[in-house]
Amino acid sequence: MDLMNPNNDFFKVVSSENDLLEILKEQSQEFKFLSVRFTIDIDLYAIVSENPIPGIILLERKFRGPKPDMLKELSPIFDCSDIQFDKPISFWNCHFSMHTNFQNSIFKHGFNFRLSTFENGLSMTKVIAEGKSTFGFISSSSVMIMNCFFAVIDNQYSELNVDGDFHINNTTINSELNLYRCKITGQLNLIGIKLNGNLDVSEATIANLNLGVFEDNTSRTELQNFNIAYTEFQGNVQIRNLNINGKVSGQGAVFKDNIFFTNLNFTNHVYLTHSIIDKPIYFDNVCAKGNFSFYGSTLNADIRLTDVDFTNANVSFTGSQINADLWIGSLLNEDSKVFNGKMNFQGAIISAKSIVRVFNLNNPGSPAGEIKFSNVIVRGLVDVKNVYVSKITFDGTIVSGNIQDDNSFRSAIVDRDTARLLKHEARKINNIISALSYNKIEMKLHADNLSIWKFTDWSMLKLNQISNNYGSNWLWGAGFTITCALFCYSIFTLSIFGFGFFWEDNWSFLYTDSKFWAGFINYFWLPTGFNELTKNGVVQGGGAGGVTYIIGKILIAYGIYQTVAAFRKYV
């Protein structure tokens, strides 16, 4: 089957050894095969050994007997093993009906495959290409490249389609590797490769991807920028034992099967933005140091970031659609993870069947980092436990599901909307203790934000704080009541005597006088009313004393009410 040229419109057809020799001999500067169809078994080493060709040098080869004619017909091979090409060689719009093999071959000027077709696959083993090489072909069978060296691979404007597996194993490429828009129906195996540049697999269609080092977990290979933008992965993606020093660009990528990230170090940013993830992502010993973003992505399967070290990373699920469970931090009974970065869920939608867990970040004595749940639509559950950060926000969030927490991040709340939302969420599950805690924070933040033009509201909130700490502390209420009563009665008593000494011993202190305390007890007891305020139709202590007396009575009544309210905080 000729995928490139269905009409078999080739300039030449190599159906004998003489046809090949004729093409080779007529080219003096380079070996250029243009629109050539290869149809027979060819052993180039054997042909050139009997018919020397300038620019083709035979390398040392172990003795290999002649291939039987029957085997040539049953299993033909285009074999260019043990040969050094001193001239540039290129294949444009060529068709290889048989398997093509390059082994122990040297290309002094590289090679060029463009618009060519391999009907039965291609293999390269221990090939050295010192010039620029190009892979632009369609293969109806698997392609194997192993233990090779390429000075430069330039696949720009080249089409690469493999109906099978495409292996590049234990190979050094002293340049970037561009597999842009490739189509691989089997596995794309890039195992043990050494790149001196970027890896571009963008806008491709790939069944399975295996990248990194797979035989030895103690060694790692290096990679610069890794581009998988708008690529569709129809099978598993496994990336192992790799240091990615540049940026990972995965915007618009589609992952239809499992993703395995094992022993990876992302020193720069990872952008899996606007992606579709249909199966779980498994992380094992992964370190992320820059941005780790799922911005605008659709997450249809579980993701656990429990084995990811993101101490200083910025983790983003901004605008994402979360349709499965998401776990960030560590498991509930494990040690806390240090987190100094930022975590952003702004504008995300958490579906009804989803649970977003954020567990065990930092320790109580060392809060750090920020978490932002602003403008989130929560239809499922957000569960936050043992999280100690410097700032957390839920402003603008709409909750038809639930938000649960253990009150560990209350000191990180900096806006009233967040406190109010968490208060209502705590009440929904009858968590009265947390509701009171968030109510106290809400009132305090509201008071702090009031302007001077709303003095009455401000003073009321401050009085509520002083009297019982926003309904949370009855001891504050009792202390407030007694203190206010004692202060006002003291001023009233002193005003009666013109702020002079009225007791027998001038050196005695007011509060050591028994008459004062007898009067105070009578004053503190509200049913006594205003017995001491008037005498013989005259207000005791004048206007100032009368006002102080009445204010004290009001504060006693208010303080008793606040004390009782604080007693009933759990009711």
pLDDT in tens, 272-296: 999 999 999 999 999 999 999 999 9
Task: Return d(Cα 396, Cα 418) in angstroms, integer.
Answer: 8
Q: How far is CA 526 from CA 273, 511, 549, 558, in A?
A: 68, 21, 12, 11
Q: What is the pLDDT of residue 55?
A: 94
132: which DSSP letter? E
Q: What is the pLDDT of residue 3?
A: 38
Q: How far is CA 48 from CA 59, 361, 421, 560, 570, in A?
A: 11, 70, 83, 110, 96
152-175 pLDDT, tens digit per residue, is 999 887 889 999 999 999 999 999
Average pLDDT over residues 106-114: 96
The more confident residue out of 477 and 231 is 231
Q: What is the pLDDT of residue 439?
A: 82
Angle at CA 476, nearest 5°, toward 475 and 478?
A: 65
CB 113, CB 143: distance < 8 Å: no
pLDDT bucket at 262, cuts 50 / 70 / 90: very high
Q: What is the pLDDT of residue 506?
A: 46
What sign results for the dihedral spanned by CA atoms 429, 431, 434, 440?
Answer: positive
412: which DSSP letter? G
418-460 pLDDT, tens digit per residue, is 999 999 999 898 888 788 888 888 877 766 666 656 666 566 6
Pairing relationship of beta strands 326-329 and 355-361 according to DSSP bridges: parallel
pLDDT bucket at 564, cuts 50 / 70 / 90: confident
Q: What is the pLDDT of residue 5?
A: 45
What is the number of alpha carbons within 13 Å of residue 245 lying toward its C-beta? 9
CB 469, CB 559: distance < 8 Å: no
Q: What is the pLDDT of residue 217?
A: 76
User: What is the torsion angle, in degrees rounded to the nearest 10, for the CA atoms of residue 458, residue 464, residue 466 and residue 471?
Assistant: -150
Mean residue pLDDT across the chain:
87
7 has pLDDT over 50: no
The DSSP H or E segment spanning 456 is helix 455-468
Report residue 231 as tokens. 């690529």
What is the number of alpha carbons within 13 Å of residue 67 lying toward its C-beta? 19
The more confident residue out of 571 and 66 is 66
3-state secondary structure of 341: coil
CB 374, CB 395: distance < 8 Å: yes
pLDDT bucket at 51, cuts 50 / 70 / 90: very high
Give the count of beta carbons closer than 10 Å to the beta carbon of residue 70: 8
Report residue 293 as tokens. 């973003």
520: which DSSP letter? H
35 has pLDDT over 80: yes
305-360 pLDDT, tens digit per residue, is 999 999 999 999 999 999 999 999 998 888 999 999 999 999 999 999 999 999 99
The more confident residue out of 555 and 472 is 555
Give the count of beta carbons closer than 10 Å to the beta carbon of residue 342: 17
Average pLDDT over residues 233-252: 96
Q: What is the pLDDT of residue 1?
A: 33
CB 200, CB 227: distance < 8 Å: yes
What does the DSSP assignment read for 242-283? EEE-S-EE-TT-EE-S-EEEEEEEE-S-EE-TT-EE-S-EEE
CB 242, CB 221: distance < 8 Å: yes
pTM greater than 0.85 (yes/no) = no
Q: What is the pLDDT of residue 405?
A: 93
Report residue 318 as tokens. 């901004």
Average pLDDT over residues 543-570: 74
CB 244, CB 266: distance < 8 Å: yes
Q: Nearest CA to 422 among 468, 383, 369?
A: 383
What does the DSSP assignment read for 368-408? --EEE-TT-EESSEEEEEEE--SEEE-TT-EESSEEEE-ST
CB 281, CB 262: distance < 8 Å: no
Q: What is the pLDDT of residue 2?
A: 40
Q: What are phi and psi of 325, to 5 degrees?
A: -85, 145
The more confident residue out of 542 and 537 is 542
Task: Return d(Cα 325, Cα 257) in angstroms, integer.
Answer: 16
The count of residues in the chain is 571
Q: What is the pLDDT of residue 507?
A: 43
226 has pLDDT over 90: yes
Q: What is the pLDDT of residue 153?
A: 94
502-541 pLDDT, tens digit per residue, is 555 444 556 666 677 777 777 777 776 666 766 665 566 6
Which residues partner with 248 through β-bridges? Answer: 226, 270
Task: Return d(Cα 456, Cα 281) in angstroms, integer.
Answer: 55
562 has pLDDT over 80: no
Q: Nearest CA to 305 among 259, 273, 351?
A: 259
The more confident residue out of 458 and 405 is 405
